[in-house]
Chain A
Amino acid sequence: MATSLYPHARREGFIIQPLDGELILHDGEVTHLLNVTAASVWQLCDGHHSLAEISQELALPEETIVYTLQQLARKQLLQKNADAVLFSKPLTRREFLKKGALVAAAIPVVKTIQLPSPQDIPSNGGVCTCPDCTGVPTTCDGMTPCQVGTCIDGCCQVI
């Protein structure tokens, strides 16, 4: 494998959010969850670090870095320029696990996740604007009961 490879992560259009050492990449449609190994490699893919340097910096075997880069490239998380070199001899997961004497924690994982619906999220509640309000704007969204009256159509109605 070409150790002179300088992989470059694709960052444009992504919301990049840390997750206690892991990383979430979200582009509005697809969410990728990178575990600690995959996140560390991806963050060093700045076009300035060679494959060998990444391996050295993270104290991981080059096979692990290559396998991680292949996974990232498959999910289109790297710039295309590295593809030809990376996939000249692709590693299967089985081959990778056979080759590397790795602890489980260092196995790179890139998961692609279905986004939960925003409707599942409790809203911060709206302000009661109906004429029959109780006076104090109160959330009336089923989460907070009305101080007075009954919650009807988002308003605390006094009967």
Chain B
Amino acid sequence: MHTFRNGERGQRQDSARVANILRGAWRSVPPPLDFTMDDLQLALPLLQDASLTALAWWRIRRTPLAQTHAGVILRQEYVTQSIRAAAASHRVYQYVSALQAQNIDPIVFKGWALVPHYAEAGMRPAGDVDLAVAPYAAERAAQILRDLGAKPTEMDVHPGLADAAHAAYIPHSSWEEIYARSLQKSIGAVQVRVLDPADELQLLCIHFLRHLGARPIWLCDIAAALETRPENFDWTRALAKPPFTSWIECAILLAHELLDANLENTPLAARQTLPTWLVSDVLQRWAQPRTPSIMVHDSVFQIWRNPARWKEAVAARVPNRLAATLDFQGSLDEPFLARYQARWLWRRLTAFAERTVRRAP
């Protein structure tokens, strides 16, 4: 069981350390070290918790830190993660072959599909395999994979990528358009269909923000995809239309600010519009341990009779600025984002009132 440092400031310092360790870690030749053994030691629990050990190993592997106790742990986890990545590749091969045999041509995206953006396949933690198929074929595709023995933790079939209710989606494009732009690619020994690079970067940015920037690896994905984009990368399409333009710009600028993603030759090179609260917000989230506090989520009725807990209960129910802005499809570069929080709060209050009235005898 890891212990995490108390206090918001201490937590933010720890996650800032994690960000510093990850700077450029996806590259074949990562930048020289600018942190100490103590920094690595302090960040280790968070690195392990977020499956970032392989990336951290890659950053330190040619330095004296590789010989330290933390270095030995990172190396072991890097090997384990690499083996898992090989197993994930095999699973992708099986899934894609099985679906293609039934005339379903999936697009593999996120997770495993991002491996080519990293120096080595094992550097990115392999989770479930994300497959997008035509919406009408999604049920059948999921059944084919279940029949193959795929567990729910191993695959995630998405009915297209145009549904705004999902965190991973591409706005202003139909499934047919996304599919027409997708590319056949050989990743390792596996021939798969992947997203067009502009669609991919767009999806990664929107997905990262819709999940409130919860996982550092998602920001590494953005940084790595940005730096390995092809020369003919379509920036006009990648930056989408408002309000998504501000979302995508903010995610990319975050990757630059926290992970040193290279903005050279991008439309964002001269722009500095990243809201400072967003950096702090994301760092705070990276520092949160896995287990959520359940104390603050007690029902209103339970808290009602205990005025000492009212303040805490209200604080827990005020929506996050990022969450509220995204939920109402606001633009992140607007002033007064608090109005989205107020709208969210109002919506929740009315929903609560309606529920209470309905329950009343």
Contacts and interface: CB of A to CB of B under 8 A. Distances in A.
A100 interface: no
Interface in B95-144: 110-111, 120-122, 125-128, 130
A19 interface: yes
Query: Interface size for chain B: under 10, 10 to 19, 20 to 34, or 35 or more residues?
Result: 35 or more
Contacts of B211: 125, 137-139, 144
A16 B93 CA distance: 13
Contact of A113 (B83, B88, B128, B344): B83
Contacts of A147: 212, 319-320, 323
A150 interface: yes
Given A31-B83, A116-B84, A144-B211, A159 B89 contact: no
A136 interface: yes
B27 interface: no
Query: Interface size for chain A: under 10, 10 to 19, 20 to 34, or 35 or more residues?
Result: 35 or more
A20 interface: yes
A121 B90 contact: no
Q: Which of A116, A136, A142 has the most CB of B within 10 A?
A: A136
Interface stretch (A21-29, A60-68, A91-99): A21-29
Q: Which of A18, A119, A143 has the most CB of B within 10 A?
A: A143
A142 B348 CA distance: 24
Interface string B43-66: 000000011000000000100000
Contacts of B212: 136, 138, 144, 147
A142 B165 CA distance: 21
Given A145-B293, A147-B212, A20 B327 contact: no
A102 interface: no
B128 A123 contact: yes
Contacts of B326: 136
Contacts of A137: 165-167, 210-211
A126 to B, nearest CB: 7
A22 to B, nearest CB: 8
30 contacts: A14-B189, A15-B87, A15-B90, A15-B188, A17-B85, A17-B86, A26-B83, A26-B86, A116-B80, A118-B84, A118-B88, A119-B151, A121-B125, A121-B126, A121-B127, A122-B51, A124-B215, A127-B165, A136-B210, A136-B212, A136-B323, A136-B326, A138-B214, A143-B214, A144-B212, A144-B288, A145-B292, A146-B292, A150-B294, A158-B348
Interface of A: 14-20, 24-28, 31, 33, 113, 115-116, 118-119, 121-127, 129, 134-139, 142-151, 158-159
